[in-house]
Amino acid sequence: MTIRKRKSDLPEYGVKIRLYPTLVQQAKLRQFFGNDRFLWNQLVSLYQERYKNNKSLKLLTEFDLNNLLPALKNEYPFLKASDSSSFQIVTRNISDAWEAFFAGTRRKPRFHSKHNAKQSYTGKSSSIRIMGKRNMFLPKLRRVRSSKTGVIDGKIKCYTISIDACSRYWLSLIVEKKSAFLPKTGKAVGIDVGLTHLAILSDGRKFDRFSSDFCEKQAEIWQSKSSKRRHLAFVKSQQEANKKVLGAKSLSDYRNWQKANVA
């Protein structure tokens, strides 16, 4: 799903981290995915019926759809379990989709299927926050264990929780940086590129040349990894060949070994 962002002077960037929800939280997430899909399909059906019955009717706006949400929640109480901000994203997306369809720039919106391998929902960041190095507080889920949160540095604008074909859960964030520009000092400095130092400033500061020790150390590490991964790939390919496995991989098909070679 897409979300329309308010214009801001501060730059924004995307962050994607892994989530490790408990079994209870996984059940809630499956319900949240289903609730967003259910709402989308209900609104698609509503648009189609209006268009079928009278093509001259005024197109429902995002505001009109948001006014329908309380009635839908009363008719389908299970919708109340979800983060209400995710429904506002659904109404925005479907309103934009139908406007684009009538403008001739997109095809007609279709129903979403529960059989899709990837499911997701998007919400606003009203209460989402970091809780330590490996925990996030998420609406309707509370504390959820995650991968390292140190990559999040700024104000969270919106979030998307998804599950991929391998049943892994992910949290994607749009983060607004705290500061876009460094403070102005009103001072100037001259830079001279020298032979003994990488740079010498007019205020006397000196910067040494780049050291190759780090690169040499990394080269040794990855040469060792490449050798070990090649051996493991060779053993695995020989085992598959001996067992006559259908579609057995050759040595060059093992991606871990290829990654080590590229690195």
What's the domain count of the chain?
Answer: 2
CA distance 60 to 51: 11
The answer on 228 and 116 residing in a single domain is no
Q: Are residues 21 and 146 in the same domain?
A: yes
Same domain flag for 115 and 43: yes
Share of the chain above pLDDT 70, in %: 83
Domain final position from 176, 194, 228: 176
What does the alpha-carbon distance between residue 5 and residue 83 come to, in Å, rounded to a whole number? 19
Domain region containing 229 = 215-262
Same domain, 47 and 158: yes
pLDDT higher for 187 or 16?
Answer: 16
Q: Tokens for 243?
A: 């067992």
Determine the Cα–Cα distance for residues 109 and 105; give it in Å rounded to an integer.
Answer: 12
Q: Same domain, yes or no, for 153 and 228? A: no
In a domain, 251, yes or no: yes
- List beta partners, residue 16: 172
Q: What is the pLDDT of residues 132-177, one digit of tens each?
A: 888 999 999 999 999 888 888 888 889 999 999 888 999 999 988 7
Q: Is residue 141 part of a domain?
A: yes
| CA 25 and chain centroid, separation | 19
Answer yes or no: do 21 and 144 share one domain: yes
Residue 43: exposure state from Cβ atoms within 10 A (0-12, 13-18, ≥19): buried
pTM of the model: 0.63
Taking only Cα atoms into account, the Rg of the chain, rounded to an integer number of angstroms, comes to: 27
Task: Report if residue 190 sits inside a domain.
Answer: no
* Contact (CB, 8 A) for 24 and 183: no
End-to-end CA distance of the chain: 34
